[in-house]
Amino acid sequence: MQADFVIVGAGSAGCAMAYRLSEAGASVIVIEHGGTDAGPFIQMPAALSYPMNMKRYDWGYRSEPEPHLNNRRLACPRGKVIGGSSSINGMVYVRGHAMDFDHWAEQGADGWSFADVLPYYKRMENWHACGHGGDPAWRGTDGPLHVSRGPRQNPLYHAFVEAGRQAGYQTTDDYNGQKQEGFGPMEQTVWHGRRWSAANAYLRPALKSGHCTLVTGLAQRILIEEGRATGVEIRHGGSIKTVRANREVVLAASSINSPKLLMLSGIGPAAHLAAHGIDVVADRPGVGQNLQDHLELYLQMAASQPITLYKHWNLVSKAMIGAQWLFFKRGFGASNQFESTGFIRSEAGVPYPDIQFHFLPIAVRYDGTVAAGGHGFQAHVGPMRSPSRGSVTLASADPAAAPRIAFNYMSTEQDWIDFRRCIRLTREIFAQDAFKPFVKHEIQPGDAVQSDAELDDFIAEHAESAYHPCGTCRMGRADDPDAVVDPEARVIGVERLRVADSSIFPRITNGNLNAPSIMVGEKVSDHLLGRTMLARSNDMPWVHPTWQTAQR
């Protein structure tokens, strides 16, 4: 039970590192608490609402009662399975905006500007939209991670993009290319009709290489001797075992479990650790702080024509879709159904998009419950850069206990201003001529909900997490007292220990987090191997020429 590198967590970043390290000939042990990802619930893209609601695949975390959301406890699913959250997520592929990463660099994450990370995005991608528009020069075509687009056969997908254009917004052929801003086709990590998780893309090839071993167990603490990480203590069944690292230990256990494991190992805010009887190895007040997420609402419209996916929301149709997928990997089962999107700016003076839309041709919740009223469609919408910050702290020194997760959603006035604007801008899009043949009436929030106070009540009762937690082991300069890792992802104050997952993001990126999490794994693997970083890119992203004076 020893290897050059020990990685905790077989998720998005962990699988990418396992692949790159073993490809370089290093020996790797990956520790994962969850089990196999085999079976249709995970592998069939359209079944995405199932795995994130199954105890077998999900850690089952919930937030503390959120004081600004009527004290609701919100679900915080994290993948407890091979592939981690890339095995239970919505498979949406968004790199994030160039300016997100430039902001990281400004915050002390030197070497993580967009020019630095774009080559890693290209290295990881195998992009399949060529010939359907897009920006081939900005994309990678021979990486392990297949990125594709849905067939977009339902007319509603095109109505959404056209409505955005009619409302005066840009359109974009490739929001992951030069121009994020605008409405256009959405991309998904789906290949040959299967979920293309980090397990399928990276871990399976790594395990076949002969250099990588997968070990099942719950990581309890990092073993630290004389200020240096030497291995990981795991519980498997009834016994405790030690996995030794000859070179380095890397935490890639998620923005919830990575800070938890650091704190259990004596790395974190000293007073908090002492309160739980944990000896302090390194006093890092930033561990578990800076928690961020995306909140969203579903704006649902009743459809005047029976063209939505609701016609398949019955046992016979589901069985037929399942059979078609099982035998041919085709049909409705082969897409996540998120096939159109939009990225817009909320107001003049905002330099790059801060609102994202996921469009879906059915009115349904993440837990799989359908809106009363049958045929409908919806846009998920929410602000991308909330100023609110929360924390992950220990509830107990017991490694098996869930941590306390307090997102502190909607804790600033700006959050409410931004969210109301999201709702009103979405309503305006649904009111365009492109939707006239399809809209019957608004299901949610409903036409009666108009004033600021009414919208605020709706937000407090109905806002849901988009499941993008990050930021809890923030990357910054080594002399920054609130940073947890330095720009090479090394834990400040402990040798031979790194963190590489969404917890190191200084600030949340614009869009879904799976792509940037994998990119972190790709880039940190080069740091681990002591390699020269890939050459910086000179590509310049598109910025709206009148962003200072115009909202669209």
Catalytic residue set: 468
Report yes or no: 489 and 498 within 8 Å, Cβ to Cβ: yes
Amino acid at 147: V
Give the length of the chain. Answer: 552
Contacts of 454 (CB under 8 A, 6+ apart): 445, 448
DSSP 201: I
Report yes or no: 150 and 338 within 8 Å, Cβ to Cβ: yes
Give exposure, 163-199, as e/b (b: 16+ Cβ within 10 Å). bbbbbebbebebbbbbbbbbbbbbbbbbbebbbbbbb
Report yes or no: 156 and 307 within 8 Å, Cβ to Cβ: yes
Name the β-bridge partners of 195: 190
Contacts of 158 (CB under 8 A, 6+ apart): 152, 340
Q: Which is it for the CA torsion 131, 134, 138, 142, positive or negative? A: negative
Dist CA 195 CA 42 (whole Å): 7
Among candidate residues 324, 330, 323, 411, the one with its CA nearest the CA of residue 66: 411
